[in-house]
Structure 1
Amino acid sequence: MTLKIGILGFVIAVGLSLVVGALRSHKLPKIISFILGFYVEFFRCTPLIVQLFFVYYGMPTIGVKIDPVFASIVTMGLNSGAYMSENVRGSILSVDKGQYEAAKLLGFNSFQVNRYIVLPQAIRVAIPAFMNGFSTMIKETSMASVLPVIELTKLGNQIYAKTYHPFEIYISLGVLYFVMTYSMTFVARKLERKATKWQ
C-alpha cells in the first residue's frame, strides 16, 4: 500500500509539475498566472496532514465522497506536484536564451521549441529533484495513517498495540523505509548518466 500510494502519487506529481512548471516559466494571462500561482503556494504553505483531512473529511460536506486510498494518492500528488513544479520552472529558466533564438531562426514554432529543445534539457537538470521528490513522497505516505488506510506506519502501530514491543517494530519500519528510499539513489544515478550521455 505504501508503494502504491507513493508511486501513483509520484506519477500525478510529475505530470502536474511538468505542465505547471512549463506554463509558469512563460508569460501568461493574469488570471491563469494567478490560478497556477495560488495552486503552488497553497500546497506549499499548508501542512500535508491538513490537506489530507480537507480532501478526505472536508470534501464529503459538499457531497464529494472519496475513497481513503484515492484521497491519499491525489493529495500526495497535488502536494508534491506543487513543489516539483518550481524545480521544473527553475530548470526551464536555466536553459540559455540563445537556444530559443536559434530555434526560432531555424523555423521552430513555440511548441516545437519547448518539446524538442527546452524540455529535454530542463528534465535532465530536474532529474535529481524528481528522484528526491519520490523519496520524500515514500516517506510522507506515513501521513496517510491518519486516514483509514492500512499502510506501513499504521500497520506498525497496530502491531505495537498488540505486542507492546516498540523498539523492534519501529526499527523495522525505519529499515523498510530506508531500503525503499535509498534504492532510488541507484535509479537516480542511472537516469542521470543516461540523461547526460549527449550533453
Structure 2
Amino acid sequence: MNFDIILLYNLPALFWGLVITLKIAFLSFVFAIIIAHVVGILRALNIPKAVDLIFRAYVETFRGIPLLILLFFIYYGLPSVGIVMDNTTAAVLGLSLNGGAYISEIVRASLLSIPKGQWDACSSLGMNKVQSLVYVIIPQTIRISMPSLMNSFSTIIKESSLVSVIAITELTRVGQLIYTKTASPFEVYIVIALVYLSVIFTVSLLSNLIEKKLNYAYNR
C-alpha cells in the first residue's frame, strides 16, 4: 500500500472536493429544513384534508423514490420538458426535496409530542397560533428534534456522494479521478472513507455539544 502518491500529490484536489461536498450538503440541509418545517408544521395542525393529502403525497413520493433516480430525473429528465438547470442546482434541489420529506416527519412528530396543555396555556395568554408556535412550541420542538436533525445532516453529507453521477467534482468524484490516474483503488477509497468518517464524527460531536447546551438552557 502506498498512500504517498494520494496524499502528497492529490491533497489539494481532495480538499476542494471536500469543500464542494460540504457546500452542497449545507445548502441542501438548509433548504430541506425550510421545506420540512413548512410541511411538518402544517401537517401537525388542523388543515383542510385536501391540503394534507397534497403534503402527504409529497412526503411519500420523495421518500419512496431512490435519490439516485431523483437526481437523474431532475438533471437529465426535466430538460426534455424545457426545465434546464446546472448540475449544482440539480444536486441541491434533489437532496433538499429528499431530505425535506424525511425531516418533515421529524418536525411533525416533535410538534405532536408537545402536550395540548401548552397550546391551551398560550391561548389563555392571548397568543394566536403563529405566536404560540414561534415563542413557545417551536423552541421546545428544536430541543426534542435536535439529535434527529443532526443525524439527518450527516445523512445528507453521505448521500451527497451520489451527486458525482451528474458530473459534480465533489469528494467521491475526486476519488474516482485520482483512481483513474493512480490505479490504486484500495488506497484511494480508504482515504475517501476516512475523510467522510472524520466529517461525520465532527458533526456527531457538534450535535452532542448543541444538545447539551439546549438541555442546560431548558433545565436552567
Q: Same fold (TM over 0.5)?
A: yes
Deviations 1:109-157 (A, max 9, x none): 1111111111110111110111001111111111001111111111111
Q: How does 1:85-164 map to 2 (within 5 A)?
A: 85-164=104-183
Counterparts of 1:6-21 in structure 2, within 5 Å, are: 6-21=25-40
Greater gyration radius: 2
Q: Give the whole-Å Cα distance in 1 for the aligned partners of 2:46 and 2:127.
A: 19
Matched letter for residue 178 of structure 1: L
Q: CA offsets per residue over residues 36-61 of structure 1, 9 Å max, x none?
A: 11111111011000100111011101
Structure 1 distance, partners of 2:61, 2:138, is 26
Shift of 1:25: 0.4
Distance (Å, rounded) in 1 between the aligned partners of 2:160 and 2:115: 37
The TM-score normalised by the length of structure 1 is 0.97
Q: Distance in 1 between matches of 2:78 and 2:107?
A: 30
- SS of residue matched to 2:218: coil
- Aligned identity (percent) is 43
Unaligned runs of 5+ in 2: 1-19
The letter of the residue matching 2:218 is W
TM-score (norm 2): 0.88
2:62 is equivalent to residue 43 of structure 1:
yes
Amino acid at match of 2:26: I
Give 1:198 deviation, angstroms. Answer: 2.1
- Aligned mates of 2:174, 2:133 — CA distance in 1: 45
Partner Cα distance (1:63, 1:173) in 2: 37
2:214 equivalent to 1:198: no
C-alpha displacement of 1:35: 1.4
Please say if 1:189 is aligned against 2:208: yes
Correspondent of 1:28 among 47, 58, 68: 47
Superposition RMSD in Å: 0.9
The DSSP-based 3-state class of the residue aligned with 1:20 is helix
The code of the aligned residue for 1:167 comes to: F
User: Structure 2 CA distance, aligned partners of 1:149 and 1:3?
Assistant: 13
Three-state SS of the structure 2 residue aligned to 1:198 is helix
SS at match of 1:108: coil
> In 1, distance between residues paired with 2:124 and 2:143?
24
* Selected match of 1:73 from 86, 92, 100: 92
Give structure 1 regions of 4+ aligned residues with deviation exceeding 4 angstroms.
none
Code of the aligned partner of 1:2: T
